[in-house]
Amino acid sequence: MQDIHQQVRSRMAALIQGSVRREEVADWALELIKDESADYSSDSTLWTALDRLAGADLQEGPGVYLHGEEDFRAWIADLDA
């Protein structure tokens, strides 16, 4: 699962850099969460990170996102801890 950790971290970093669309990252994370053949739920840190990424595109209102760069940095810190 180390490889998946790195992919998750890479996607979080890309969100900070603005080099990837939030919707793209959220869709990617949702696909991993739905993949029943990969038991990501056994790794609580990874599961939390995927859950957070799945909500990266949530909006408080039109064009106003619930999560921002500060959140993404905190997510990386939690993943690395």
pLDDT per residue as tens, the chain (81 positions): 569 899 999 999 999 999 999 999 999 999 999 987 777 778 899 999 999 999 999 999 998 999 999 999 999 999 998
Per-domain boundaries in the chain: 2-80
Provide the token pair at 71. 């959140």
Q: Which helix (H) or strand (E) holds 45?
A: helix 44-54
Q: For the segment 26-48, what is each residue's pLDDT rounded down to a tens digit?
A: 999 999 999 877 777 788 999 99
